[in-house]
Amino acid sequence: DIQMTQSPSSLSASVGDRVTITCRASQNIINYLNWYQQKPGKTPKLLISAASSLQNGVPSRFSGSGSGTDFTLSISGLQPEDFATYYCQQSYSSPRFTFGPGTRVDIK
Amino acid sequence: EVQLVESGGGLVQPGGSLRLSCAASGFSFSSYWMTWFRQAPGKGLEWVANIKQDGSEKYYVDSVEGRFTISRDNAKNSLFLQMNSLKADDTAMYYCAREVNDFWSGRMFDYWGQGTLVTVSS
């Protein structure tokens, strides 16, 4: 099974900060990596697919990069609505999937 | 507008059974793989099971294999999850989601329901 890890597990940041979250796969997943945002009490929202493809309607301050085993999600100019938990998810082993444990972004 | 509405959750004793439903609307249900996820209280997301458009392929996470059965009724635009031999560890919010398969981007989940809560406790 492909294991996904994320770091940090949580972070505190201020509005306007640049935030970077790292996701690592236990084996090469090429670019089959998606990012989701989940706000408290809400359902996950797909932000980025294929490591770096921004979904329609997602603000351009979100960006993704990486390939192989190491990936990053960056938020440039953090906004109040961005405080949430972010999950990476690999689809290399589809039709089975695994998520990272999540990174919670809190207000400093 | 794509909508996914789960139902069927509740409180059940260990060893008991529940059947979850997901009513889909706003898209051609029979054209998509569909998936169940779960999220234990305060925990992360876990893929549970998925099913091919015509129901001919089904896959499960190891922890539910043999206890849960995913199915669908394309005529009624509905997805189901039959959960048997429930354990305390199965306590979670259960979400259904639409799976999209893009040639360049791979597979992803673009629409999710609001979830239905399953609590396994005596």
Identify the sign of the CA torsion B49, B54, B55, B58: negative
Q: How far is B110 from chain A (nearest CA, A)?
A: 6
Dihedral pair phi/psi, residue B90, rounded to 5°: -85, -5
Strands A103-107, A85-90: pairing is antiparallel
Q: Which residue has the tokens 């406790």?
A: B121
DSSP H helices, chain B, are none
Q: Is the pLDDT of residue A107 over 90?
A: no
- As a whole-number percent, the residues of chain B with pLDDT over 90 amount to 96
The DSSP 8-state label assigned to residue B31 in this structure reads: G
Residue B46 has its nearest CB partner, among A34, A55, A99, at A99
Q: Which residue has the tokens 């100019």?
A: A77
pLDDT digits (tens, 9 = 90+) for A12-70: 999 999 999 999 999 999 999 999 999 999 999 999 999 999 999 999 999 999 999 99
Q: Is the pLDDT of residue B70 over 90?
A: yes
Q: What is the mean pLDDT of residues B61-78?
A: 97
Q: Does B109 touch chain A (CB under 8 A)?
A: yes
